[in-house]
Chain A
Amino acid sequence: MTTNPQKTVRWWQFALIGVMIMMFILFAAGLGRDTKFIPSPLIGKAAFNFDLKQLGAEKQIKLSDYKGKIVILNFWASWCVTCREEHHILLESSKALQPNGKVQFIGVNSKDTDKAAFGFMDKRGHFPYPSVIDRQGRMALEYGVYGMPETFFINKNGVIAAKHIGALTHKILADKLKQAEAVQ
């Protein structure tokens, strides 16, 4: 049996070049991706129904109390530097959106102390909505939080429609709110 080695070698060379081109395309596609975007497996799933003590009040807050409303759940802490950036966005947006009764903001003060949390709000403005206490950070784990701040947009049926990692802007908030209105 006679074989032509030249032809065989060329075939493997083509295969290797093909694989290298594929890898190059994959890397090029990866470079164009938003590195801040981390897909959450919680999107489209029922939000964890927490029952936690309200910050600065002798009252328990449950997520299920707000069924029928879009809930904007914001994880924050006094030690979180990025939380300072989005603070005025949360104040302005909540003042503008909450009066219509369709949207409810809830803060989750995570791994913080009451004193430090109130010190933060005294300096930058008190939220016109309640915050719950997540002293140990268990609630943050329950929501798969990476770091502060993180905001979840829960629709009327208690399903997580969207989430945002990092400081909010008016545009991001409006876009995510639209998603929460759209997702059933």
Chain B
Amino acid sequence: MRQLIAFVCINMILITTPLSLFAAETVTTPQIKVESELEKRIRTVATKLRCPVCQGESVYDSHADVAVEMKRLIGDKLKAGESTEEILTYFKDRYGNFVLMEPPAEGLHWVIWVFPIFMALLGGLFLFQNLKSGAKELKDTKYDDFDQDDASDQDNSKVSEIEELRL
């Protein structure tokens, strides 16, 4: 019986070891897809465009039908010799500034760019003024003027309160 079990075990090891090595080989072999020059250029353009039907996703990242077709069209336009700017203008002319991941600083859009800087400056000045006036107040305070008698009176009253409670 022992011999039978040993025979089965040895056979299993002999069968499974090459299989596992093959599996390991399959898993560990890196399947790196080399990005062609055209794909790189498509990526550059597609990351600058917003997917029209997605929420805050670029055309490059999206798998929506319209985004896939946009990527194909970008590829065709690049092959035809169009520049990145020309392609971005093509989509902007049809979908408006919305289609650009970074809205241009023109028209009302400048508010988006200027407002955070304005708020940061305003907040900074507000903080600076507060700290400055606080520091000035602290500097002007004379510690010698601190009324020691008042403080000791307060301490004494506390002690008497505690003693009353004990009684």
B132 at the interface (CB under 8 A from A): yes
Chain B, residues 118-149, CB within 8 Å of chain A (1/0): the string is 01001101100110110010000000000000
Q: Are A143 and B94 in contact (CB under 8 A)?
A: yes
What's the minimum C-beta distance from A8 to chain B, rounded to whole angstroms? 5
Let me know if A38 is at the binding interface, CB within 8 A.
yes
Does A41 contact B133, Cβ atoms closer than 8 Å?
no
Contact B133 A5 (CB under 8 A): yes
**Contact digits for A124-166, partner B, Cβ 8 Å, 1 yes 0 no:** 0000000000001110111111110000000000000000000
| Cβ–Cβ < 8 Å partners of A141 in chain B | 66, 69-70, 73, 94
CB distance A15 to B96 under 8 Å? no
Q: Is the CB of B73 within 8 A of A19?
A: no
Interface size for A (C-beta < 8 A) is 26
A15: chain B residues within 8 A (beta carbon): 122
Contacts known (A5-B132, A8-B129, A141-B70); A40 close to B96, Cβ less than 8 A: yes
Q: Which of A6, A12, A38, A137 contacts B66 (CB 8 A)?
A: A137
B63 within 8 A of A: no
- Is A19's CB under 8 angstroms from B133's CB? no
CB distance from B139 to the nearest CB of A (A): 12
10 new A-B contacts at CB < 8 Å, known A41-B95, A137-B66, A145-B66:
A8-B133, A9-B126, A15-B122, A16-B122, A16-B123, A16-B126, A136-B69, A136-B72, A141-B69, A144-B95
- Size of interface on B: residues with Cβ below 8 Å to A: 24
Q: A5-B129, A12-B129, A19-B119 are in contact. Are A41 and B69 (CB under 8 A)?
A: no
At the interface, yes or no: B92 with Cβ under 8 Å from chain A? yes
* Set A5, A39, A147: member contacting B96, Cβ < 8 A: A39
Nearest-CB distance from B57 to chain A (Å)?
14
Of listed A6, A16, A141, residue having the most chain B CB within 10 A: A141
Determine the distance from Cα of A31 to Cα of B52 in the docked complex, in whole angstroms.
21
CB within 8 Å for A9 and B133 given contacts A19-B122, A138-B69? yes
Query: Are B125 and A12 in contact, CB atoms less than 8 angstroms apart?
Result: yes
B93 close to A (CB within 8 Å): yes
> Do A111 and B130 touch (CB < 8 A)?
no
Question: Which residues of chain A have C-beta atoms less than 8 A from B98's C-beta?
Answer: 38
Query: Chain A residues near B73 (CB, 8 Å)?
Result: 138, 141
Q: Could you show 18 A-B contacts with beta carbons less than 8 Å apart?
A: A5-B136, A9-B126, A9-B133, A12-B122, A12-B126, A13-B126, A15-B122, A16-B122, A16-B126, A38-B98, A41-B93, A41-B94, A42-B93, A111-B69, A136-B69, A140-B69, A141-B66, A147-B53
